[in-house]
Amino acid sequence: MYQYEPPLEDYKFILHKLLKVQDLDLKGYSDLAPEYTNQILEEAGKIAKDELAPLNRYGDIEGCKLENGIVRTPKGFKAAFNKVNKGGWTGINCETKYGGQGLPHVIGLTIGEMFCSANMALNMYHGLTHGAYSAIYYHGSESQKEMYLPNLVTCKWTGTMNLTEPQCGTDLGLIRTKAEKKTDGSYKITGQKIFISAGDHDLSENIIHLVLAKIPGSPAGVKGISMFIVPKFLVNKDGSLGNRNDVSVGKIEEKMGIHGNATCVMNYDGATGFLISEENKGLKAMFTMMNEARLGVGLQGIGQAEVAFQQAARYAKERVQGKDITKKGDEKQAHAIINHPDVRRNLMDQKVFIEGARALALWCATMLDAGERNLDKDSEGLASLLIPVVKGFITDKGFESTINSQQVLGGHGYIEEWGMSQFVRDSRIAMIYEGTNGIQALDLVGRKLSADGGKHTIHFIKTIKNFIKEAETCNSLKDDITTPLSEALDDAEKCLQFFMVEGIKNPNQALAGATDFMHLIGYLSLGFMWARMAKTAHEELEKNKEFNPLYETKLASAKYFFKRHLPETELRRKRVLSGSKEMMNIPEIHF
């Protein structure tokens, strides 16, 4: 059984020293002082550590079972699920009007990281419910909000998102599920959906399916998609549960990981659905809730990397094997493997990724908050530019980080009993769902870069340039931090120029570099966050002359990141600039 320790020190540093969330002045959130947020995070950490983490491996082994049309979750899941709900953790960043706690996303996502570290499969039931809450909150009618939101906030009812069909994943224009309007204004939903996470289970009284479907006669392609609420049990006017709707589970998929979460084939056989927003506006409704969802998936990448890193670090301190070559003395003596440089290198790679990515994701969360509560369009725009990077880059690297953790344990890493395999298998899905990482890259290059006339891209570059200008006055950061950050920014700008010049002539020239560009911006963004963390640590050390190992370590970690990871922007720039010629010219038969 693995152990999980909430990384509270790092949260404190990021939230209060780096992002200074207490000064954000978000409307409706008056109190984000350290004492208050620390207390919340500590309590959430206890739930994660004591209630969720102990069930994680069990959920992997037992998985979900379909018995007589009903999905059974692993033993213990229901009790833990209820404990989270009763603690009010499910509505932490939901509106108070519907029973939420009214806290900002930055706090909700921090808690989400812990819950995901502890038990990703179980936390997904909560996460998807939050997604359904958001869809109805932003696009539902007043009466829909009143009918569904309070129970979604408490997770008395849970939610799902039904997009994928056998012939249609990324390309939602190919959806075949049909929605026919009935005389009472509701719709008759017919079709099959696949890969539906938390599609059915025994954790909640009702399940609110959000389903994308096409109304006969609507425009072809994505412009003819509508979104519907299809409850498992229809809800009576007084809020009580009515008849079972005509939706059923076809089967549970056998997956590589997240076994504790039921991934279902869902059959809609003339089920009753209720339109959200307007006809044919389904895709738009999807898109506006996507930022928060994708940010959440990015956090999953961090959460899994964090818990895997903790096991690897503990193992490295305990496992005695081989001599520390710098230590004098008995030739035959062996030392803990954390003393061996290649193991250190591996642990450092994990550490600087996790802390940098966490800072980036939580910074984006504060910008979403500012956008939502303060109607700060610039912040919202910058967040929406960076969110495909947070989702795509961080889940790519987060998965890689779990692989690196697994490697520290050698042969034991490959044995299921040690739990490392599960982190690898669970985290793998984050690169695929909520839009594959290739799609994130296309979203970034094909859509976000030029959105609103490229305004947010310019804002991003300016933000980094302003920081460099301010920070480079500090001589002790210049060589190690600000100068290389400048060079990395230059790599990004060269790619942007290439996209502008070449992409217009032939879009494939740009799109062939999409994934590499996403990674370039990922490294640049992590570099920016590490530069800010280095500056913060440096200032704290200046203020407080006595030796403080936390800040010393942050500074050393920043330098490590800049020496060993940031130079990847140069490689990625070269790849982007190499264009698409060879790859597109090779005959299909040679693949």
Residue type, 129: T
C-beta of 333 vs 497, nearer to a copy of itself: 333
Residue 153 makes contact with a copy of itself by CB under 8 A? no
Residue 17 makes contact with a copy of itself by CB under 8 A? no
Distance CA 249, CA 233 (A): 14
Residues in 252-271 at the binding interface with a copy of itself, rule: CB under 8 A: 253-257
Residue type, 252: I
Number of residues located near a copy of itself, criterion CB under 8 A: 97
Residue 226 makes contact with a copy of itself by CB under 8 A? no
Query: Cβ of residue 17: shortest distance to a copy of itself, in angstroms?
Result: 16
C-beta of 73 vs 509, nearer to a copy of itself: 509
Which of 283, 316, 357, 368 is the binder for a copy of itself (CB under 8 A)?
Answer: 316
Q: Give the active site residue among 306, 434, 502, 568.
A: 434
Q: Is 434 a catalytic residue?
A: yes
Asked if 144 and 229 count as a contact pair (C-beta separation under 8 A), the reply is yes
Residue 490 makes contact with a copy of itself by CB under 8 A? no
Residue 250 makes contact with a copy of itself by CB under 8 A? no
**Rg, C-alpha atoms of the chain:** 24
C-beta of 105 vs 425, nearer to a copy of itself: 425
Q: What is the residue-wise DSSP string for 76-104?
A: THHHHHHHHHHTTGGGTTS-GGGT-----
Residue 574 makes contact with a copy of itself by CB under 8 A? yes
Which of 414, 458, 462, 497 is the binder for a copy of itself (CB under 8 A)?
Answer: 414
Asked if 263 and 255 count as a contact pair (C-beta separation under 8 A), the reply is yes
Q: What does residue 168 show for φ and ψ, rounded to 5 degrees?
A: -155, 110
Residues in 275-314 at the binding interface with a copy of itself, rule: CB under 8 A: 313
Which of 375, 458, 500, 583 is the binder for a copy of itself (CB under 8 A)?
Answer: 583
Query: Cβ of residue 580: shortest distance to a copy of itself, in angstroms?
Result: 5
C-beta of 41 vs 514, nearer to a copy of itself: 514
Which of 40, 432, 451, 461 is the binder for a copy of itself (CB under 8 A)?
Answer: 432
Residue 411 makes contact with a copy of itself by CB under 8 A? yes
Residue 557 makes contact with a copy of itself by CB under 8 A? yes
Which pairs from 191-194 meet CB under 8 Å and 24+ separation? 191/165, 191/268, 192/165, 192/166, 192/250, 192/265, 192/266, 192/267, 192/268, 193/162, 193/163, 193/164, 193/165, 193/265, 193/266, 193/268, 194/164, 194/165, 194/166, 194/253, 194/265, 194/266
Q: What is the residue-wise DSSP string for 492-549?
A: HHHHHHHHHHHHHH-HHHHHTTHHHHHHHHHHHHHHHHHHHHHHHHHHHHHHS-S--H
Which of 116, 229, 266, 441 is the binder for a copy of itself (CB under 8 A)?
Answer: 441
Residues in 187-206 at the binding interface with a copy of itself, rule: CB under 8 A: 194-195
Q: Which active-site residues does the annotation give?
A: 434
